[in-house]
Structure 1
């Protein structure tokens, strides 16, 4: 049997075809999971108690959190600045509840871009609301395309990964070029997690949990994974760990 991978879904607008709002996950995520040998399943955003989330995650073998809009700063004790966009507090709470359930249930988690950020916030960390406000703004590499959040699909920059980290073992390398589409980063790393990846300018690009297979990256490996084997390696490693969860049942 293939491990079933929960992807925390999103709500999209109605179209002439759907006639009503839709629940969706990006095909770059689902295709990366399929190539890794998993079976992706979209979980509809919903209000969940911890007990609900545990019961829901018990049906799956792993969890993917996708990229997207900004996390509500009020969830990490700050007021929203003029730089934030796309806040959906209900989505934040849904994903926070899901990731904490996955950890309790012993299911691996792969958190991408916003997914890394909501994971860090859910576990007690904080974010920088706009990297352009940091002291090194003049020396930063390009972390987002022109006209962000519109414009080109992504920027590209080098990422250095801590030797011996779970992330380095998954990718099979300690240096990689990542597809980048973000204007925020992790500030305070959540308790129980450690920083494991950095851009050339020193900005944090990856965290992982010290006791659980939970890896979060700020770049988008799925955007280039079809042609870049090292990026696909991260999804392969994640699904391999999900398969171990399946084998325990």
Structure 2
């Protein structure tokens, strides 16, 4: 039986694909899970207590959180920056409850881009709301010009901590470039997290929890995983861990 991977769905506005509001998951995420041998199941966003979230996730073998728009800054005690966009507190609270529940029950979890930011906030961390405002020794482009835009993400090198879950996931592959599409990043780490990868400007590109297989990436491996084995290996390792812990 294929490992069942819960994908935290997202609320979307009605449009060309539907005359009513939709719940959705991005195709690249689903495809990466399928290539890894998992069966993705999209969870419809709703108001959940942490207890409710734990009961739902108890039926699954892993949890995947996608990228997307910005987390409500009120969740980490800040006012919104002028460039903060797309905030929907319903999505934020739904995904945060899933993160806390997954950590509590030891469910293998992979959190991508916004998913990493939600996870950090869910455990009391904070975010840099707009990287262009952060003083660093030199700037690294973390998103395309005019972000947010319909353009693809930009590539930049990263450094990964030896011995980390991420290093083990790559299983001997060279460290791939980060495919970045974001203007925010982790500032203060949430409780239980350790930074395990960094960009050249010292912004955190990955973090992990010490109490299970819980890996968060600021970049998008699924964007190029269809033709880059190193990026696909991250999804492979996630699904392998889900299968191992289930069996």
Question: How far apart are the structure 2 equivalents of 1:239 and 1:11?
Answer: 25
Contact kept, 8 Å, 1:115 with 1:216, in 2: the verdict is yes
Cα RMSD, aligned residues only = 1.3
Contact kept, 8 Å, 1:36 with 1:235, in 2: the verdict is yes
What is the CA distance between 1:17 and its match in structure 2?
4.7
Q: Which segment is superposed worse, 111-120 or 14-23?
A: 14-23
Q: What do the CA deviations read for 1:120-168 (whole angstroms, capped 9, x no partner)?
A: 000111111111111127x211110011101411111111100111111
Unaligned runs of 5+ in 1: none
Contact kept, 8 Å, 1:161 with 1:174, in 2: the verdict is no
What is the CA distance between 1:54 and its match in structure 2?
1.2
Q: Which segment is superposed worse, 145-154 or 16-25?
A: 16-25
Question: How far apart are the structure 1 equivalents of 2:104 and 2:136?
Answer: 38
Q: What do the CA deviations read for 1:177-219 (whole angstroms, capped 9, x no partner)?
A: 0110001110011121100001122211010001211000100
Match of 1:232 in 2: 232
SS, match of residue 156 in structure 2? strand
The TM-score, its normalising length taken from structure 2, stands at 0.96
Contact kept, 8 Å, 2:11 with 2:91, in 1: the verdict is no
The TM-score, its normalising length taken from structure 1, stands at 0.95
Match of 2:157 in 1: 158
Q: How does 1:1-249 map to 2 (within 5 A)?
A: 1-136=1-136, 139-172=138-171, 173=173, 175-247=175-247
Question: How far apart are the structure 2 equivalents of 1:132 and 1:199?
Answer: 15
What is the CA distance between 1:16 and its match in structure 2?
4.8
Contact kept, 8 Å, 1:194 with 1:209, in 2: the verdict is yes
Aligned pair count reads 246
Question: How far apart are the structure 1 equivalents of 2:189 and 2:174?
Answer: 21
Q: Which segment is superposed worse, 169-178 or 72-81?
A: 169-178
Contact kept, 8 Å, 2:99 with 2:119, in 1: the verdict is yes
Pair 1:55–1:83, CA change in 2 (3 A): same
Unaligned runs of 5+ in 2: none
SS, match of residue 60 in structure 2? coil
Contact kept, 8 Å, 1:32 with 1:226, in 2: the verdict is yes
Q: What do the CA deviations read for 1:69-108 (whole angstroms, capped 9, x no partner)?
A: 1111111111112121111111110000011111112111
